[in-house]
Amino acid sequence: MAEPVSIISYPDPRLKKVSAPITAFDADLRELAQQMFALMRLEKGVGLAAPQVARNIRMFVMNATGNPEDDRVYVNPELSEAEGEEEGEEGCLSIPELRVKIFRSRKLRIVAKDLEGKSIEESAEGYVARIWQHETDHLNGILLTDRMGPVAKIANRSLLKDLEERYKKQGKTT
């Protein structure tokens, strides 16, 4: 049985690490994915990456529609063939309350593995492509705070400062 996991928040340094490729497609990995889906639904998110639950491995789960049949897991994802660019609002379960407009590629291709180690190759545009990019960023230690422009940084300065203070206090008790 895998250990229970919980979502970690900015500015936890584990969110800034480059995560390692997954080589073992075993029961622990499947259980971790199930736990991540449960947390994602609980927090009403559309995606969650393993580093957000303090596991620095290259996997994310997502569901762009809220329908259970649209649950997707991507292991060792690689994005390519990016086309176009568009701005859209994003949030992040590791940066509570932040909503910020981010430029992303409009369309791209993903090559990944599923939980059984089988190859996945898909193309998507718009919202799904945006989630792929946000979650793949997590696997590379990149957060919305690294993507947002100077105006958004100023606008959200106090929110980020509050999270930093909260993290410092937590550090003293755990």
Minimum gap (Å) between residue 69 Cβ and Zn ion: 23
Judged by CB, which is closer to Zn ion: 71, or 117?
Answer: 71
Between residue 56 and residue 95, which ones bind Zn ion under the rule CB under 5 A? 92
**In sequence order, which ranges of the chain are alpha helices (DSSP H)?**
27-42, 126-139, 144-147, 150-155, 157-173
**How many residues sit close enough to Zn ion to count as binding (CB under 5 A)?**
1
Tokens of 72: 């997707």
| Interatomic CA distance for residues 42 and 103, integer angstroms | 27
Judged by CB, which is closer to Zn ion: 61, or 92?
Answer: 92
Judged by CB, which is closer to Zn ion: 92, or 108?
Answer: 92
Residue 98 engages Zn ion in binding (rule: CB under 5 A): no
Cβ neighbours of residue 143 closer than 8 Å, sequence gap 6 or more? 10, 15, 16, 92, 94, 95, 137
Judged by CB, which is closer to Zn ion: 25, or 166?
Answer: 166
Q: 């996945």: which residue's tokens?
A: 120
The answer to whether the beta carbons of residues 48 and 36 sit under 8 Å apart is yes
Catalytic residues: 135
Cα separations (Å) of 13 from 54, 89, 126, 168?
10, 24, 30, 12
Minimum gap (Å) between residue 31 Cβ and Zn ion: 22
Residues that bind Zn ion (CB under 5 A): 92
